[in-house]
Amino acid sequence: MMQAEPKIGLALGGGAFRGLAHIGVLQVFDEAKLPVRLVSGCSMGALIGGLYCSGMDMRLLERYVYTLDERSLADVILPRQGLLAGARIEGILRTLTGNKSFAQMKIPFSALAVDIERGELLSLSEGPIWQAIRASISIPGVFRPLRLGGRLLVDGGVLCRVPTDAVRAMGADFIISVDVSYHGGFVPCDGLSSIIMQAFAVMEWALIKEKVVTSDVNIAPDLLHINMASILQAEDCIEIGRQAARAALPAIEEGLAKKRAQ
């Protein structure tokens, strides 16, 4: 009797602009014809994963990223709930997702966010895709939180660095995680945004570094030299993602073969 093909799920972690490495990872997976069936993303992982699941070509997204600068994304407000209002990124997300809902996704997807008032981690999988992504990327102190359904939502990375549990709950039985955040070492911080982002990254690392990775294959690109608060190193970041994904393909194939034989 033939064994059912393992249902591959991707867990794409947060890491601000270091998360652009997810673009390179997904490009390699597409080239390898890896049959990704489910995706969950947190923060930048939610942004890239959401666009991927909505049908956007990752080569096209790479070219689009190179046209951006930080000024095109920033809409500074008087700090009340965050430095940036987020209206500009909302407009970009509406356009890039085609204003699709979760029901229209090519690949089932969820985005993690935190209800900051209740201290609850939420897996968002209903309504407009752009709203879920906007909630998941709302780094406290940088982006104004998103008020949605009576909840005040911020970056899922506050409680979850890489959403392996979320994609498992969606039904994945072979999980590939991509962790693009901090893994220790010296990181220069020269601005308010970089200090806020690095503070969260250090806290996340302190919480998870002693834990065993619960995915079948974990990809952790070496991104320490990438400024997580700047888009200027996007090309380098995406290429590092490609290299890390290519290096992981043998382990993925081996893991899938073992899963099929079970």
Catalytic residue set: 43, 155
- From residue 46, give the alpha-carbon distance in Å to each of 5, 91, 133, 157, 184: 26, 16, 6, 11, 23
98: left (phi over 0), alpha (psi -120 to 50) or beta: left
Query: Tokens 């229209």 — which residue?
Result: 104
Q: What is the spatial distance between Cα 68 and Cα 60, in angstroms, rounded to a whole number?
A: 13
C-alpha closest to that of 83 among 161, 197, 211: 197
Q: What is the spatial distance between Cα 236 and Cα 111, in angstroms, rounded to a whole number?
A: 26
What's the number of CA atoms in the CB half-sphere (13 Å) around residue 203?
10
C-alpha closest to that of 14 among 205, 247, 258: 205
Strands 82-84 and 141-143: parallel
Element (H, E) at 195: helix 192-208
